[in-house]
Amino acid sequence: MVHEVKGVNDLEKLKTGSILHIQDVYKAYGDNLILDDIDLSIAPGEFCAVVGPSGCGKSTLLRLILGQERTTTGQVLLNGSPIGSPDKDRGIVYQKYSLFPNLRALDNILFGHRLRMWPWQWGARKKELTEKAMVFLRRAGMENHSHKYPHQLSGGQQQRVAVIQALFSRPKILLMDEPFSALDPGAREDMQMFLLELWEESRLTIFFVTHDLEEAAYMGTRLVALSQYYSDERDPAELKKIGAKVVVDLHLREIGQAASPQVKTTAQFGQLIQDIRRDAFDPGYRQHVKDFSLNHPHSFYTLSSYEGGEEPT
């Protein structure tokens, strides 16, 4: 591998200041390259929205951060240390299956604490934690649903409980994989507001994967687009499949400041959506790697080469 860092002056400083630092990450299944040299460094408190065409590997990247899968090469650091198998530092909300079907809504929220305690410890803190959980449920307008099983809740209510459940364990970073994609538009907007509210006051770092560009541009303080639609010096015919790279990395708003829903109606917003749609989602429009819009102050890229082939054992 050849290294040449571009974009930032001091990579070490960036690395230590970030909560999540991803460098030179490749992911291949057999000969099939999915992620091609991902470099991404995320500051604490950032709401990082990740978009990309379907099959570009954005969910794969999330699973690498989660520890559900391992990188082929490259490093993923959380607070400076390499990540391992999933643990309570990284919360996760999926599109579905986030809730345990055999537990009622309230018990789902409390389950994380329960799992980490001995029964006598749990007995001592049960009342206090239940009250805390009920505060969250009340804010979500769900105090009357605390004793329902997940299958008795609507899709939107289930995702509310799932978000509360993940936050309640106080992770360092919250990963979300298309959390609102199965919801109808009304429930979806409610959820977006609810999540932004919680994010603003908790100062949590969120890594939010979605296929919906408008959702990403509205929710994120930072917008990252992954795409396999680009061109470089390699002969496309030689590559089994072109792996996705970060093709767009934009600073949208300051950390800790959620956008108001009105922003969606502005001309700027529309222009932004159009630009990203062209750069990342249009198979006919292939930017050269040197022309990517990587304008975020923390954006960097290393030039390296992947020797290819098998996963290391």
Partner 1 sequence: MKYPRLFGLHARPGPYLHWVLVALPFAFMICAYLISSHKMLAENPNAKLLPSVAKMAEATARLATEPDPRTGQYPFWQDTVSSLQRLGMGIVSAAIVGLLLGINMAMFPGLNSLARAFVTFLSIIPPLAVLPVLFIVFGVDETAKVILIFVGSVFVITRDIFLATLALPKEQVTKALSLGASQLGVVYRVILPQVMPRLFNTTRLTLGAAWLFLIAAEAIASTEGLGYRIYLMRRYMAMDVILPYVCWITLIGYTLDLGLRLWVGWRYPWYTK
Q: Note the residues at the interface with partner 1 (CB under 8 A).
A: 66, 68, 85-88, 90-92, 94, 97-98, 100-102, 111-112, 115-116, 149-151, 165-166, 169, 171
For residue 88, the 8-state DSSP code is T
CA distance 38 to 249: 12
| Cβ 196 to partner 1 shortest distance, Å | 22
Are 268 and 13 in contact, with CB atoms under 8 Å apart? no
Closer residue to partner 1 (CB): 60 or 287: 60
Which neighbouring-strand residues pair with 73? Answer: 26
| Cβ 156 to partner 1 shortest distance, Å | 18
Closer residue to partner 1 (CB): 113 or 296: 113
Tokens of 275: 């630009």
Q: Which amino acid is at 52?
A: G
Closer residue to partner 1 (CB): 116 or 240: 116
Tokens of 59: 């969910």
| Cβ 101 to partner 1 shortest distance, Å | 5
> CB-based burial of residue 35 (10 Å sphere; 0-12 exposed, 13-18 middle, 19+ buried)?
buried
Closer residue to partner 1 (CB): 163 or 248: 163
Radius of gyration of the chain (CA): 20
Closer residue to partner 1 (CB): 43 or 66: 66
SS3 content of the chain, % helix, strand, coil (to 5): 40, 25, 40
* 3-state secondary structure (DSSP) of residue 148: coil
DSSP code string of 40-69? EEE-TT-EEEEE-STTSSHHHHHHHHHTSS
| Cβ 163 to partner 1 shortest distance, Å | 13
| Cβ 57 to partner 1 shortest distance, Å | 18
Closer residue to partner 1 (CB): 173 or 216: 173
| Cβ 167 to partner 1 shortest distance, Å | 11
